[in-house]
Every structure is written in structure tokens, then in C-alpha cells.
Chains A and B, each alone.
Chain A
Amino acid sequence: MPDQPHSDAPGYELFVGLLTRHEAALRRFVRTLLPAWGDVDEVMQRVALAAWKKFNQFDPATEFLHWALVIARYEALAFRRAMGRDRLVFSEDFLEQLAEEAENETELASREELALETCMAKLPPARRELVLKAYSIPDQRDLAAAIGKSPAALYMLLSRIRQELATCIERTLKEEAAL
């Protein structure tokens, strides 16, 4: 694989540093455009590779995230097109609209990420563990079985916790804004 990046290539460290810093933001962006986590992960890999291939075109005086988002948008839409009609996704022009709006929200998004950390810390430990587990195991049904709940009950519980977190994030951001 000639295009595969390797650690002694020039700019590698800078690239890794930038991508590491903005990885969460890129994932949020791609997640907004694709409904399946498997697809999101696939596109994230493509974005990373494409960004590395084009990294010599990146002007360090400009913002890396903005530059990488353009790549992410392109990769997500290309992926969607390749999936064609056999996968259930939003129509392309609607995705364009979402992408455009999401690109203008990166600052809000990173404040949300920080607020989420605070809000997670406020959750009762058992619920915090549950969310972390649910988001890190491949099949949530296994988690349901492990804790002796039906999948439906687990989904309900998770969606309630997510809602609580969303409310907490909103409140935290409002409080910050009021400071």
C-alpha cells in the first residue's frame, strides 16, 4: 500500500496531532450524515486516509478542522452515493443541507462535548457505567441480557438517560452563557 502513511514520513507527527485533536469533531459531523455506526467508522477511516494523502496541500496557517470537514463531507457523500438505493439514507441534497448546517456548528459542538463530560460526571455511577457500556459493546442486546433487562427496557432506559444528558448539556451551556 504505497499511500499508507507511516511514522517516519515528514509531517506525520503534525498530522497525527491535528487529527487526534479534531477526531471527535469529525466523527460528530459524519455521524450527522450517516445512520449506521459501521458506515460512520468506515467513512472516518477513509477521511483519515484521504486527509493524509492530501496533507501536503494543507496550509498550516489555516484551520485544520475546516479543511478536514471538506474532506469528510466529500467522503460521506461519496459513500452514500456508492451505497445507492439498497441502504436507507437521506437523499443527497438533504445531506448537503445538513452538512452545511453542521459545518457552521463546530464551535457549539465542541462546547457540547465539554459539557457532556460534566454531565456524565453528574450521573449516578450505575447509570454512567450503563451508558458507557452501551456505547462500547457491539450489540446492546448482550448488555440487556447481562443486566437482566429486556432489550426494549434497556433502550427505553438509555433513551431516558440520553434525554437527561441532553437537558443537562443545554442547561450547562446556558449557564456558561450567563456567566
Chain B
Amino acid sequence: MKSHDDSLRDLTVRYLRGELNADELAVFELRLRSDNAARAEFRRATRLDANLRTIAAGREATEVWETNHAPAASGVSWFVWLMRWIAPVTAVALVTTMFWWKDSVGGPEQSPSEESAAGFAVVTAQANAHWAGGRKFVTGDLLAHETLRLESGIAQIELFSGVTVVVEGDAEFKIISPMEMSVTRGKVRARVPEPAHGFRIHTAEGEVVDLGTEFALNVAATNSEVHVLDGEVEWHPHGNAMRNMKKGEALRWETDGKATALPANHAGFIGMADMSERLNTDRKVRRDEWINYSHKLRHDPRLVVSYQMGADDGWNRRLKNEATEKPQMDGAIVAAARVPDRWGMAGAALDFSPTGSRVRLNVPGEFHSITLLTWVKINSLDRWYNSLFLTDGAKVGGPHWQIMDDGRLFFSVKKHETSEVKRGQKDKYHFMSPPIWNASQSGQWLMIATTYDVDARKVTHYLNGRVFSEEAIPEEYLVENVAIGAASICNWSEPVYRTDAHFAVRNLNGSMDEFALFAAALTSQEIADIYEHGKP
């Protein structure tokens, strides 16, 4: 899931472009109302937006003025602006400026093609969930206006209004907006925080409007049951008077209109606490399975570096190399903070979003083919280059592995000294995949791998265990001996550009819980196996 800050920033940017729809605007306002810091940040963004326009307009007007009336007096641009509404008729000389202005103030900049993640809700957890039609969701997936059928298992969904629902299969439902959903079948339990009061669920028999805080629904073929677990709801049966229901009350409503009062049944619906307990057990089992499998991997003689970012002691900034054949090459953690790993285990991953974050390591020797493999969770690609693993500087033989701002995976091994590059030649070849990432994958854990296969002369990029793209290594750019030396994970150390903010900031805005370097190109089968055993 996107971090709090990121989603607010996103909302602000889209608000300033006039792109928010009514629901999003309502949610945005709610969040700003309840959060002083967010509001201060919002005002800061609007001020910057206005200041940029002032500067841009000032310069533009000055330019027009200067071409017509050189030399220009200082501060004249403001006067030009003023003239446009105070004394338009006399400002004959400024006709061009005014026309320009007239055009420029047309309205909010629309951007229908803007890439934006679409949805009203996000899947936050699942236990043995099976969706109809073979649909698969992972944590962090967005749900939009679509009828979904959960055949079995449990899913927890957070709506952007702050409402959390737990759905038990077999169930059929639809998220209509951040404040509204419909249920045609099955059990749903909803917890509604204060800013989302008024949240409603439609059923065939009527609709429930929440007045706070927790209620559950069981929709069957011939009746609907409403249970108020906490707080108060309104039950609006179709064609009948509204009923106010309080904590502890429940009502069964038959399709023929017959109503029966019942005591509310807490135990009949899985709540958030039960869900989290189940998930923890579930996750722990899967994590243990992976740890078992990775113990075997550690003995693989091809493994050079293997970091599992979880430490037994949270304060230790040293990252132990788990490759048993290579006891040295420990990493040093810089700035990165400890966060939950892909199974939700606290402190078992590193968050590289604080500026300057990286893991420093030194890998001596030379390699023929190599494989780089990692599990990452990307918040956003907000740099031109978003680092995964880069040798320091730009040394011949050094690999650079990163993600471009548009989501393409980038791999290169430097072939020539930059000073010796001939005309029409490059110092290295860029092996770029098509985009592997877009904003809708924000917050999802992904396994990314790239193999540099010198013998087969090809570079292969993998996403989640599958070949994503493949490219032959052009003869003139083949590097037979890959040399790494001093390197950084999730950042780049480049002395030359250290003073240049544009190049210096390359840390990945995201988390990593595992990194491995092999001195060989693993086969696609091996990479698929690692993914199958390691997926959360």
C-alpha cells in the first residue's frame, strides 16, 4: 500500500490539475480536515504552484515587453499583468501579451491520458482466498467498480474512505465508491471510522447506512441479516420504513418483507482481529517454508552474496552474507530503516526511501556470467534512475542495475572507458526491459531478477519468476569479466556527481527484504523455483 505521504501528495497533484472526482475530493477533504500536518503540506504545495506560475508569467511578460520596448524597466512584468484588467484599452502595445494571457487562463489543465492508479479500495489481506474465474489479487491490488465473487476464503479490503471490510466466501460484492458497496451474497463485516460515517451497503432487500462504528451483513438467497456489533446503523428496507438499530441488535429481513429481531452475533462474522491472527499463522508457515528452502540455496557454490535484510538485533547495521561458501562480504546499512518484510515480519526488510539510504558492500574478484535477484516493494519511481544494485562510479566491467522512472528495468555492464569511446559508439549497452512497474503496483512485493549470460550472449530480465524480456548481447559490447568491487544496493555512489542533486539522488523509494548475487546465469527454471518457494 502507498505510504500515507505518497497518497496525499498524489491527491494534491491531481487536485491541482482538477482531476479529482467528487468521491476523491470528499476523501481528500476528510483527510486534510483531520490532519494538521497534511493541511500544512497541502498549503505549501499550492503556494509553490502559485509561485511557479508567478515566476513563469513574469518572465514571459517581460520577454514580450522587452522585444517591444527595450530597454525594460525592472518590475515591469507586474505592471503588464495589472494593465490587463485595469486599463485594457490603453494598453495597445500589449496586445500580444493579453492574447497570450487570455489563452493561458482557459481552465484547469486536463490530462485524460495521465497514468493514474484506478480504484476505490485496496486489498490488504487474504487468507486462502479463491476468486471466481481464476482471478488473483495480491496485497496492494486496487479494486474498482466491478462485481467480484470470492468463492472461498477470506479477504480484507480497505476502502479509501477508511472503511475496512472483511468478506467471507462464498460472497459476491461490488465496491461502488469509497463510501458505498453492494453485497448480493455472503458475509461482510465492516468497521467504519468516524470520517466515513454515512458509509452504506446495498442489498436486494434494502440498504444499511452506518452511523458508526461496526456492523455485519449476511446476505442469503431468501433473506438478509443485519447485525450491529458496535455503534448504530440505519436499515432502509425497500418499500418499508427505515429502522434505527443499536449495538447488540440484529434483524433478519425475508424477501417477502417479514422481519425478525435477533440478538447480534459477534462470533458469526470474522473480524479484523481474527483475520490478522489467521494471517499471521498463515504467513509464518509460508515464511518458514521459504527460510528452509533458502538454507539449501545458501550452499549453492554459485552464490556470492545473499542478504536477508532481517537482523536478529534491530540496532545492528551490519548485514550478514548468508552465502556459506563466501563467509566475508558482509554489507553495511546506511540510513535505511527497518520495516516489515514481504510476509509482514516486523523489522525484516529495509526501507530505502530516506535520502542517502543504501547498503554498502565490496565484492572482490571477477565473474563471468552473473545473476542479480531481489525482492522489492516500490512505493514510487520518483527519480530518473531508481537504484537496485550499482557498482561505484562508472568503472569498466562494472554492472549497473536500476529501474527507470517509466518502469523499465535497466541493466548494463560498462565496456569502454568513457574517454576512449569512439564516435558513434557508447561506453556500454543498455539492456532495457519494457516497463515492469506502474503506479498500480505501488506497495506490492515483486521479485526482480536479471541474468547476464556471457556464454549464451544474452541478458534476461525476470519479473515474479517469469521471463519478462530477453536481449542478445551485441558482440562489441560483450564484457567477459564482470568486476564489481565497491558497490551499493538501492543507491549509487558516484564521486563526480556528488555535488549535482539531479544525479546524486538515486535511492530507491521502496523496501527490499532480500538480495542475491550469483556468479552464473541461473536458468529460467531455477528462477521460477526460487519465486515459487519465496512468494509471500
Contact = CB atoms under 8 A, between A and B. Distances in A.
Interface in A1-40: 4-7, 16, 19-20, 23-24, 27-28, 30-32, 35-38, 40
B82 A38 contact: no
Given A31-B50, A38-B107, A141-B111, A120 B55 contact: yes
B108 A135 contact: no
A32 B46 CA distance: 5
Contacts of B85: 45, 48-49
Interface of A: 4-7, 16, 19-20, 23-24, 27-28, 30-32, 35-38, 40-42, 45, 48-49, 52, 88-91, 94, 97-98, 101-102, 105, 109, 112-113, 116-117, 120, 122, 124, 127, 131-141, 150-153, 155-157, 159-160, 162-166, 168-169
Contact of B48 (A27, A137, A157, A165): A165
Interface of B: 9, 13, 15-18, 20-22, 25, 29, 32-33, 39-40, 42-57, 59-60, 75, 78-79, 81-82, 85-87, 90, 103-109, 111, 113-115, 382-384, 405-406, 501-502
B108 A37 contact: yes
A159 B13 contact: yes
A37 B109 contact: yes
Given A37-B108, A136-B56, A151-B114, A24 B50 contact: yes
Given A20-B79, A36-B107, A152-B115, A88 B54 contact: no
A125 B13 CA distance: 24
B354 to A, nearest CB: 13
A136 B47 contact: no
A132 B53 CA distance: 8
Given A24-B50, A35-B108, A37-B107, A94 B86 contact: no
B53 A16 contact: no
A12 to B, nearest CB: 9
Contacts of B111: 140-141, 151-152, 155
B86 A48 contact: yes
A135 B56 contact: yes
A134 B111 CA distance: 13
B46 A28 contact: yes
B55 A116 contact: yes
A124 B43 contact: no
Contacts of B13: 155, 159
B114 A155 contact: yes
A101 to B, nearest CB: 7
A113 B51 CA distance: 6
Nearest to B85: A45
A156 B106 CA distance: 22
Given A7-B86, A48-B82, 10 more contacts: A5-B87, A27-B50, A31-B47, A32-B46, A37-B53, A116-B52, A117-B55, A135-B53, A155-B13, A160-B405
A132 B55 contact: yes
A140 B109 contact: yes
Nearest to B109: A140
Contact of A35 (B15, B75, B86): B15
A170 to B, nearest CB: 8
Contacts of A116: 48, 51-52, 55
A140 B52 CA distance: 14
Contact of B108 (A28, A38, A169): A38
A37 B106 CA distance: 8
A10 B320 CA distance: 79
Contacts of A163: 9, 382
Given A136-B56, A160-B405, A28 B105 contact: no
A41 to B, nearest CB: 4
Residue among B9, B53, B107 with max Cβ neighbours from chain A (10 Å): B53
Contacts of A112: 44, 47-48, 51
Residue among A23, A32, A136, A150 with max Cβ neighbours from chain B (10 Å): A136
Contacts of A140: 109, 111
A25 to B, nearest CB: 9
A20 to B, nearest CB: 4
6 contacts: A28-B47, A36-B107, A48-B85, A113-B47, A136-B59, A169-B48
A65 to B, nearest CB: 14
B106 A38 contact: yes
A28 B51 contact: yes
Nearest to B439: A156
Contacts of A153: 406
B18 A36 contact: yes
B500 to A, nearest CB: 8
A100 to B, nearest CB: 11
